[in-house]
């Protein structure tokens, strides 16, 4: 009987360890800085400038897809202020696609503690292909001295004939 109980305890302890490990994996995939990065709650927590719409399609990773159309680079989706640490490296990643007439990408803009933009510190990544295929965009950004906040700006548009789509943006600290 004692062996049976010890075996049950060992199995229970092993199961708990597996559950905790799986929970940690799920948390590692989550995005601690951006709220609603999959757009499952629509575009809440984001500000829109120009013609940006959530379209009924899943992106390459299952997140929602945003369609940007209108004047190139003036159509934007802007995140809330994200608390960042000066000198620290972060990764910005998203999925994007455009047809031959579309263009777009993302940039990080940094702000001082008074939420005033710090000139000359924008860091940008853009599409390299415009063939309509999904492309993973990723860049490492280093937070400048004096910055307390960052803001992700996804930009896109077209010459009126095409579109740019974005899905599941992420901003997370780089692990060294």
Both 72 and 137 in one domain: the answer is yes
Is residue 61 located within the same domain as residue 1?
A: no
Structural contact between residues 164 and 134, judged by C-beta atoms closer than 8 angstroms: no
55 and 133 part of one domain: yes
For residue 70, give its domain range.
33-173
Q: Are residues 99 and 145 in the same domain?
A: yes
d(CA 52, CA 167): 12
- Top-confidence residue, 150 or 57: 150
- Same domain? For 115 and 141 the reply is yes
Please check whether residues 157 and 93 belong to one and the same domain: yes
Q: Helix, strand, or coil here: 176?
A: coil
Whether 5 and 65 share a structural domain: no
> Is the separation of the CB atoms in 90 and 84 below 8 Å?
yes
What CATH number is associated with residue 37?
2.60.120.260
Residues 25 and 78 reside in one and the same domain: no
**DSSP readout, 54-114?**
EEEEE-TTS-EEEEEESSTTTEEEEPPPEE--TT-EEEEEEEEEE-TTEEEEEEEEEE-TT
Asked if the model's pLDDT at residue 115 lies above 70, the reply is: yes
pLDDT digits (tens, 9 = 90+) for 72-111: 667 888 999 999 999 999 999 999 988 877 788 899 999 9
Do 8 and 40 belong together in one domain?
no
How many domains, in total, are found in the chain? 2
Per the model's pLDDT, the better-predicted residue between 123 and 1 turns out to be: 123
Residue with tokens 């934007």: 76
pLDDT digits (tens, 9 = 90+) for 7-64: 445 443 443 333 323 323 332 344 568 888 888 888 888 999 888 888 888 888 888 8
Q: Residues 52, 16: one domain?
A: no
> Two tokens at 87?
């000198």
Q: Report pTM.
A: 0.77
Q: Which residues contact 120 (CB under 8 A, 6 or more apart)?
A: none
Are residue 18 and residue 69 in the same domain, yes or no? Answer: no
> Residues 62, 103: one domain?
yes
Query: What are phi and psi for residue 22, nearest 5 degrees?
Result: -65, -40
What DSSP state is assigned to residue 128?
S
């Amino acid at each position: 009987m004692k062996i049976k109980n010890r075996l049950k305890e060992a199995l229970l302890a092993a199961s708990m360890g597996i559950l905790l490990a799986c929970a940690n994996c799920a948390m590692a995939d989550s995005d601690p800085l951006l709220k609603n990065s999959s757009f499952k709650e629509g575009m809440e927590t984001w500000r829109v400038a120009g013609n940006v719409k959530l379209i009924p399609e899943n992106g390459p990773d299952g997140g929602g897809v945003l369609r940007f159309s209108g004047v190139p680079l003036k159509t934007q989706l802007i995140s809330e202020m994200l608390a960042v640490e000066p000198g620290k490296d972060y990764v910005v990643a998203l999925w994007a696609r455009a047809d031959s007439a579309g263009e777009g990408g993302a940039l990080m803009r940094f702000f001082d503690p008074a939420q005033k933009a710090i000139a000359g510190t924008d860091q940008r990544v853009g599409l390299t292909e415009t063939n309509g295929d999904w492309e993973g965009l990723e860049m490492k950004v280093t937070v400048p001295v004096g910055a307390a906040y960052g803001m992700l700006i996804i930009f896109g548009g077209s010459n009126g004939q095409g579109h740019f789509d974005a899905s599941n943006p992420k901003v997370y600290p780089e692990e060294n």
